[in-house]
Chains A and B, each alone.
Chain A
Amino acid sequence: MKYLLLIYHNPGTRQIWESMSDAQQAEGLAVYAALNADLAASEELIVAEALADSALTKRVTVRDDKTMTSDGPFAEAKEQLAGMYLVECDSVERAIEIAARIPDATFGLIDVHPVMTYSGLEM
């Protein structure tokens, strides 16, 4: 089964990151690298991406055939989407285990979404 792991940051997350020493930041990145290597080795990783600062986000809506965009960051959102993992694993328990290994889980939060498929069985 596929799970989408969405990594959210809150306004404090950035400050925590910036207040870290170079060594601490390097350590954090090494944790990510190790997680990615493990998930590649276990063949569970499909794709992982980090998102640019939410100031660069464009929000798109189409109303009456007109496309409108507005620029981020969006003040009403307390949590900002910061990155994602798409993994393929055997159970939701395993997906949660992976989410808990993402460093941001300790200062932001991770949402684990089961992904729908187009496969189906006749009933």
Chain B
Amino acid sequence: MRPSPPQSPPPSIDETLRELAPQVLAALMRRYGDFDACEDAVQEALVAAAAQWPEKGLPGNPRGWLIAVATRRWIEQHRNETARRRREETAARLSVSATPEDDELRLFLLCCHPALSPVSQVALTLRAVGGLSTAEIARAFLVPESTMGQRISRAKQAIKASGAEFRMPPAAELADRVAAVEHVLYLIFNEGYTATSGTTLVRTDLTREGIRLTRQLHALMPDDTEVAGLLALMLLTDARRAARTRPDGSLVPLAAQDRRLWDRDAIAEGVRLITGALSRAPLGPYQLQAAIAAVHDEAPRAEDTDWREILGLYGLLEKVAPGPMVTLNRIVAVAMVHGPRAGLGQLAAAASEPALADHHRTNAVRAHLLEMAGDAEAAAAEYQLAARRTLSIPERRYLESRRDGLSREAASPRPRPASRS
């Protein structure tokens, strides 16, 4: 058993800075409208604060302090006359402004602008909305700082070149633009969540950052059910973090996890969010994935899992957002409800799709279903194939351990209950 998490301490200087970063940037943008220069100025202000505040203590009005310093930096960059004239024109154009909440949402939308590639959207969102430094983002994504720096400056140039402005997109585009933001937040979360060892500490920061930013987006658009679904999905998934890896970084399958390690508060919040979202229209893929995660999280033991409900939800998900991984997961649910042979039959048909034919997860699912069906020899061969094909070191270790378990069992046969996540 682990001790329950301590009461949340007062925010650290780092947390305060990250919280304030988008507000300060939004304030500068409202005044000057030039994303590239405003963002640079805010980064400089954040660096100055990180250097001064730990020694001198927090200023009375941290937000005001940051805006003042960032403004000073901006003005230093724009001393000449033409820049001043342009600034006044922009200010006039932007003065029809709205609330600070609108500004923050616009900032999200600007960082996830369609002119940018997903990797750039991620980097820019973490820097401009998340308040992370280029070095922190580079460490988290395991690329050199210079590479990340180039990515960010290119992204800013692309925004400038696209002529994008700091304002709400037309209503017809809004849904797609918000979907891009959701996707970016999901990528940030997933990058941290799937990390198992090595630089885990840095990378679980990304999980927290993904949740924090999604919370922020949810607060900005509380009526958007997919944003609520995304936040629920993150909470319900992250709730299992302490149980999903062993201290040596090896993976623990869902069915074998010590459920006492699951974060009950996160599960309760996730269930509340997804229940609320599902009671309102429209339904979307994040809500369905969150609903599936909730069914797993609410089962006291693995064998209590309501696989019929999960099968129904995967059926819906396959209609709303089809994809090879959704198909594989639905087939696992088929096997749990109707037996391994039914699952293997559907898998044989699905594996003719090019996206699944050579995928290591197809082999892993087939291995698992064969194991459930009692065919240890064929299962071991499929685990072996899956282990050789995966590009993930922890997955390879897990698949090899399943294979080894089966060969040991073949050496001394005895009945063994089927287990599965």
Beyond A43-B119, A43-B151, whether A121 also contacts B144 by CB under 8 A is no
14 contacts between A and B (CB under 8 A): A43-B119, A43-B154, A88-B143, A115-B391, A116-B392, A118-B195, A118-B197, A118-B394, A120-B393, A121-B251, A121-B395, A122-B252, A123-B251, A123-B368
In the complex, the chain A residue whose C-beta lies closest to that of B250 is A120
Beyond A43-B119, A115-B391, whether A120 also contacts B151 by CB under 8 A is no
The verdict on B77 contacting chain A, using a C-beta distance below 8 Å, is: no
The verdict on A35 contacting chain B, using a C-beta distance below 8 Å, is: no
Q: What residues of A have a CB within 8 angstroms of the CB of B251 in the complex?
A: 120-123
Chain A interface bracket (under 10, 10 to 19, 20 to 34, 35 or more):
10 to 19
Q: What residues of A have a CB within 8 angstroms of the CB of B396 in the complex?
A: 116
Contact B196 A1 (CB under 8 A): no
Q: Which residues of B, 104-161, contact A by the 8 Å Cβ criterion?
A: 117, 119-120, 143-144, 147, 150-151, 154
Q: What residues of A have a CB within 8 angstroms of the CB of B143 in the complex?
A: 46, 88
8 Å CB contact of B253 from A117, A118, A123: A123
The verdict on B374 contacting chain A, using a C-beta distance below 8 Å, is: no
The verdict on B415 contacting chain A, using a C-beta distance below 8 Å, is: no
The verdict on B366 contacting chain A, using a C-beta distance below 8 Å, is: no
Question: How far does the alpha carbon of A122 sit from the alpha carbon of B251 in the complex, in Å?
Answer: 6
Beyond A41-B154, A43-B119, whether A120 also contacts B394 by CB under 8 A is yes
The verdict on B95 contacting chain A, using a C-beta distance below 8 Å, is: no
The verdict on B52 contacting chain A, using a C-beta distance below 8 Å, is: no
Cβ contacts B177-221/A at 8 Å (1 or 0 each): 000000000000001001111110000000000000000000000
Question: How far does the alpha carbon of A118 sit from the alpha carbon of B195 in the complex, in Å?
Answer: 6
Q: Which residues of A, 30-66, contact B by the 8 Å Cβ criterion?
A: 40-43, 45-47
> B198, B240, B395: which has the most chain A beta carbons within 10 Å?
B395
CB distance from B213 to the nearest CB of A (A): 20
Contact B196 A120 (CB under 8 A): yes
The verdict on B30 contacting chain A, using a C-beta distance below 8 Å, is: no
Q: What residues of A have a CB within 8 angstroms of the CB of B197 in the complex?
A: 118
Contact B144 A46 (CB under 8 A): yes
Q: What residues of A have a CB within 8 angstroms of the CB of B398 in the complex?
A: 120, 123
Beyond A41-B154, A119-B194, A122-B244, whether A47 also contacts B391 by CB under 8 A is no
The verdict on A28 contacting chain B, using a C-beta distance below 8 Å, is: no
The verdict on A114 contacting chain B, using a C-beta distance below 8 Å, is: yes
In the complex, the chain B residue whose C-beta lies closest to that of A122 is B244
Contact B391 A121 (CB under 8 A): no
Q: What residues of B have a CB within 8 angstroms of the CB of A41 in the complex?
A: 154
Cβ contacts A101-123/B at 8 Å (1 or 0 each): 00000000000001111111111
CB distance from B92 to the nearest CB of A (A): 35
The verdict on B249 contacting chain A, using a C-beta distance below 8 Å, is: yes
Q: What residues of B have a CB within 8 angstroms of the CB of A121 in the complex?
A: 194, 251, 392, 395
CB distance from A45 to the nearest CB of B (A): 7
- Since A46-B147, A118-B394 are in contact, a sample of 6 more A-B pairs with Cβ atoms closer than 8 Å, ordered by chain A residue number, is A40-B154, A43-B117, A118-B249, A120-B395, A121-B392, A122-B240
The verdict on B254 contacting chain A, using a C-beta distance below 8 Å, is: yes
CB distance from A84 to the nearest CB of B (A): 14
In the complex, the chain A residue whose C-beta lies closest to that of B256 is A122
CB distance from A17 to the nearest CB of B (A): 29
Cβ contacts A1-26/B at 8 Å (1 or 0 each): 10000000000000000000000000
Q: What residues of B have a CB within 8 angstroms of the CB of A114 in the complex?
A: 391
Cβ contacts B235-248/A at 8 Å (1 or 0 each): 00000100010000
3 smallest CB-CB distances across A and B, nearest first, come from: A120-B394, A119-B194, A120-B392
The verdict on B275 contacting chain A, using a C-beta distance below 8 Å, is: no
Question: How far does the alpha carbon of A41 sit from the alpha carbon of B117 in the complex, in Å?
Answer: 11
8 Å CB contact of B391 from A1, A42, A46, A88: A1
